[in-house]
Amino acid sequence: MTYVPYAISAWVCAVGLYGIVMSRNLIHLAVCLTVTQSSTYVLLLSVGYVQGGGPPIFKGVKLGTTSVDPVVQALSLTDIVVSVTVLALVLALALDVHRQAGTVDPDEIAAMHG
């Protein structure tokens, strides 16, 4: 059982990649990208989890109480910002693509462009 969280993160990563490769719509593809990235937060937070540990916030908690790892949480925060920015950029590009080509299907766009 102690391995399940990691396996699930690998599963989410694979599912996201599958979605990206199969996607016929850039907006759909952008969301698949965020799903793939969500595997990284799940993995990071699972790595830093300590059984029976509380959050690494010592407001009203005695110092030295077992708590989960704070570093992975800081990393996940950065990772989430990256995911928002990438989503916004890819969607902005998708909107421009739609304006120029009238479609958001990557296959059609490639065919138009030659």
Partner 1 sequence: MSWIPPLLVAVPLLAAAVVVATDHVLPRRVEDLIAIAAAATTCALGVVLMLRSERGDVIHWFGGWNPRGGVAIGIDFVADPLAAALAALVGGLVLVALVYSWAYLEEAARLFDTLMLVCCGAMCGFALSGDLFNMFVWLELMGVAAYALTGFEVKDIGPLQGAVNFAIVNGIGGYFVVIGIALAYARTGALNLAQIGQALTQSGSRGLVIVAMTLVVCGFLCKAAVVPFHLWLADAYAVAPAPVCAVFAGVMTDIGLLGVARVYWTVFDGAFAADRAAVGDVLLSLGVATALLGGAMAFLQRHVKRMLAYSVVCHVGIMLAGIGLLASEGLAGAADVLLAHGLLAAGLFLTTGIVIALFRSVDELQLLGRARGRPLLAALWFGAALGLAGPPYVGLFVGHSLIDDAASATGRTWLPPLLWIAGALASASLLRAGARMFLGLGARRDRLLAPEMKERPPARGTRLSVLAPVTALVVVLGLVVSVVPGLPQRTEAAAERFRDRPAYASFVLHGSPAVHGPRAAFALEPASLESILYGFGATMLALALAGWGLYRPELGGSRVLQPPARALKAVHSGVIGDYVMWLTVGTALVGGIWAVTLR
Partner 2 sequence: MRIAAFVPALVVLFALLLWGFAGMPDFGHYRGPYGFVLERIATPERHVTNVVNATTYDYRGFDTMGEEFILFAAVTGVVLLLRGSSGSRRRADDDVRSDSIRLAGAVAPALVILVGLWLVAFGFVTPGGGFQGGIAVAAGALMLFVAVGYRAWSTLGDERLLDPIEGLGAGGYAVVGLAALVSGLPFLTNLFGPGVVGTVRSGGSAALLNWAAAIEVAAANVILTTEFVEQYIAPIVRRRR
Partner 3 sequence: MTMLATLVPLQYGLFGLVALGAPAVVLSRDPLRMAVVNGLYGLVLVLLFVLLGAPDVALSMLVVTTVAYPVVLLIAIARSRSSKEEMDEA
Spatial contact of 44 and 76, defined as CB atoms under 8 Å apart: yes
Spatial contact of 72 and 45, defined as CB atoms under 8 Å apart: yes
Residues 63-82 that bind partner 3 (CB under 8 A): 65-68, 73, 76-77, 80
Distance of CA 7 to CAs 10, 15, 34, Å?
5, 12, 18
Total number of residues that touch partner 3 (CB under 8 A) = 53
In this complex, which beta carbon is closest to partner 1, that of residue 61 or of residue 89? 89
Residue 9: both structure tokens together: 């993160």
Residue 94 found at the interface with partner 3 (CB under 8 A) = yes
Residue 84 found at the interface with partner 3 (CB under 8 A) = yes
Q: Could you tell which of partner 2, partner 3, partner 1, none binds residue 3, using a CB distance below 5 to 8 A set by kind?
A: partner 2
